[in-house]
Amino acid sequence: MVDQKTWESTVLQEFELPNGVKASNRIMRAATWMGQAEEDGTCSNTIFETYSKIRAGIVVTGFQYVMEEGQSVRRMISNSKPTDVEGLKRLAGIIHSSGGLAAAQLVHCGCKSLPKYSGNDIFGPSEMEVSGLKGEGVQVKAMTVDHVEEVTQAYANAAKRAESAGFDVIELHGAHHYGLWQFFDPSYNHRPENDPYTGTSIEGRSKAMVDAVRAIKNTVDIPIQVKVDSSSDTVKPEEVGELTKKLAEAGAYCVIFSGPNPTQKPKDLEDAYFLGDAMVIRSTVHDSGLLFGLVGGIRSPKTVIKLLTGNGDLAAAFDVIQLSRPIISEPALLRRWTEEAKVGTQEIARCISCNRCFAAGLKGGVRCVQFESD
């Protein structure tokens, strides 16, 4: 149980972006694909209704594809063409009306894209076979340097559309084995030493993500945050620390740490299951001026306070935390916790991390199946 004073002075603290714009608290709704866009990626009325119920300081949208070929699942939001701006504008407006700042998460899914969207060819950092949705072998073609540059430009174009639609923040998806992470992870990136995006050096592995930040920075005036994995089987947290420094130099204001298996069950592990790796990264990144966020398995108000204060340990203190599944189950969870803090009865998020919300997304839209009758 967290007392009202601690809750208000920690969680309900304003979160100031580098351009002076302020979010009213330090809880972000993590990017969450809802499977609710129209088949062509247009924002639907269901999407607007979903987002109107969410209460958070910053609401990050589900991943928006920046090029048709970069979609990995149906009914993602499209931010790949000028006509998408209209729906994005309405979406940003609805998030604002609900009291949050609006962040657009941008992605090209690289070799996790689906052939039906990419004209049958799947592109990633290197020629290789990866396993598809049903475990089948999928042949990946290596992107040429021109193709990588085209994707970088697509990120900038999408950011421009998001800015003109009224979004306050861009979140670049550099995690979860999607396109930008694939370039950073040597298990995907086998490009040779003489290639600018080579998998043989941290410089080359970081280039696609760093270039995307730079291209966006050169195109829009709104702040850029990046979601990265804190490690993987083939990437050490210290290497992510090197990447993080480069993202700061390129102009990102905040890095959010996730992991390669993002939707685990905190009950089987512990709350905030990427904290250990995130702390290793934090201890390698000094004086970068960056803000830091954490996502993954955060379920109790006590954990929220622990992460926002660090209990005196700087490497364990985050500027902001992100929640996904708890907010699928309780869109106004923040409001509940705030009301409960006043009367001293704060209960943990009701989400049991069963992940049936995700499966529901493939069959008509993400929703909390566990508490369906609510």
Ligand X SMILES: Cc1cc2nc3c(=O)[nH]c(=O)nc-3n(C[C@H](O)[C@H](O)[C@H](O)COP(=O)(O)O)c2cc1C
Binding site for ligand X (CB under 6 A): 30-33, 62-63, 105, 173, 175-176, 227, 258, 262-263, 295-298, 323-326, 357-358, 361, 366
Burial of 350 (0-12, 13-18, 19+ CB in 10 A): middle
312 φψ region: left (φ > 0), alpha (ψ -120 to 50), beta (else):
left
CB of 237 to ligand X, least distance (A): 17
Show the tokens assigned to 367. Answer: 């929703």
Nearer to ligand X, 95 or 366 (CB): 366
User: Phi first, then psi: what are they for 107, rounded to 5°?
Assistant: -150, 150
Beta strands across the sheet bearing 122-124: 122-124, 137-142, 128-131
Would you say how long the chain is, in residues? 374
CB of 228 to ligand X, least distance (A): 10
Nearer to ligand X, 199 or 297 (CB): 297
Distance (Å, whole) CA 277 – CA 228: 12
CB of 81 to ligand X, least distance (A): 19
C-beta separation of 167 from 92 below 8 A: yes
- Within the chain, residue ranges assigned H as helices are 4-10, 45-52, 85-97, 145-164, 179-184, 202-217, 237-250, 275-284, 301-309, 325-329, 333-343, 356-362
CB of 318 to ligand X, least distance (A): 14
Q: What Rg, from alpha-carbon coordinates, does the chain have? A: 19
Nearer to ligand X, 283 or 355 (CB): 355
CB of 60 to ligand X, least distance (A): 8
Question: Residues 354, 319, 334, 6: is their CA dihedral positive or negative?
Answer: positive
Show the tokens assigned to 110. Answer: 């690289």
- Give the count of beta carbons closer than 10 Å to the beta carbon of residue 313: 12
Nearer to ligand X, 17 or 103 (CB): 103
CB of 193 to ligand X, least distance (A): 31
Nearer to ligand X, 105 or 198 (CB): 105
Nearer to ligand X, 42 or 200 (CB): 42
Nearer to ligand X, 223 or 266 (CB): 266
CB of 31 to ligand X, least distance (A): 3
